[in-house]
């Protein structure tokens, strides 16, 4: 992936193996298999969703956990980094559009808004009516905190950690993407980021998850 804040697209080579967790690596390996099927003649089209936000997040997913942690006041500060946010319904529509209009063997990024972590935190907290984290956390310190949380979970609590060394290192990059291809070829829709986050916050509160 490109360094700094350059936008990655479907032609960008994945090169974050040292800081990618098992989930990310299985996604990468699965895509390699799908591409092999397409090369063999099967009608396979690949979609690569960015970071989805919105309602009906029962699990909750990692992005939903970010929203909940902010609303609960569990985020002490903010570090460098950012990613591409997309409405969950846009992702669903992108899957259907890829089946209807996608070219066999092609990859399509289902993304929308490139934001920093600080920008995302501010919008969520503004919607939720809570104080946004303001304390700047140096990247090295944040990664060290993640390692400490991971070790505590492994050796003491034996519960799922809120963060790990790799997850924080991965989040500290600007994982920003260019969804132009999906918009041009598939007609991928766009939804304002604030609208997606408002729906997410409302859904969590309606179910008393926060």
* 2: in domain: no
Residue 147 lies in a domain: yes
Residues of the chain predicted below pLDDT 50: 3
| Model confidence pLDDT, tens digit, residues 105-147 | 999 999 999 999 999 999 999 999 999 999 998 888 888 888 8
Q: How many domains, the chain?
A: 1
pLDDT of residue 153: 87
pTM above 0.85, yes or no: yes
Closest among 3, 45, 35 to 185, alpha carbons compared: 45
Full domain range(s) for residue 60 = 17-206
Residue 6 covered by a domain: no
- Classify residue 53 as exposed, middle or buried by CB count within 10 Å of its CB (0-12, 13-18, 19+): buried
Q: Which CATH number do you get for residue 46? A: 3.40.50.720
> What is the predicted pLDDT for the residue at 1?
52
Residue 21 lies in a domain: yes
CB contact at 8 A, 53 and 196 = yes
């Amino acid at each position: 992936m490109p360094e700094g804040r350059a936008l990655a697209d479907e032609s960008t080579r994945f090169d974050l193996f040292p800081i990618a967790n098992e989930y990310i690596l299985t996604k990468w390996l699965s895509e390699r298999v799908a591409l092999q099927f397409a090369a063999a003649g099967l009608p396979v089209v690949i979609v690569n969703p960015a970071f989805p936000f919105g309602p009906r997040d029962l699990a909750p997913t990692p992005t939903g956990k970010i929203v909940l942690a902010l609303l609960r006041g569990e985020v002490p500060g903010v570090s460098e980094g950012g990613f591409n946010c997309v409405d969950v319904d846009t992702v669903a529509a992108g899957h259907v559009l890829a089946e209807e209009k996608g070219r066999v063997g092609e990859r399509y990024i289902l993304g929308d808004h490139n934001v920093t972590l600080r920008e995302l935190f501010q919008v969520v907290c503004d919607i939720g009516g809570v104080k946004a984290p303001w304390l700047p956390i140096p990247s090295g310190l944040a990664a060290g905190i993640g390692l400490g949380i991971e070790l505590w979970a492994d050796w003491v609590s034996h519960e799922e950690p809120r963060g790990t060394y790799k997850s924080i290192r991965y989040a500290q990059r600007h994982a920003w993407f260019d969804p132009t291809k999906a918009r041009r070829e598939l007609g991928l829709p766009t939804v304002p980021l604030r609208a997606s986050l408002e729906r997410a916050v409302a859904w969590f509160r309606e179910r008393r998850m926060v």
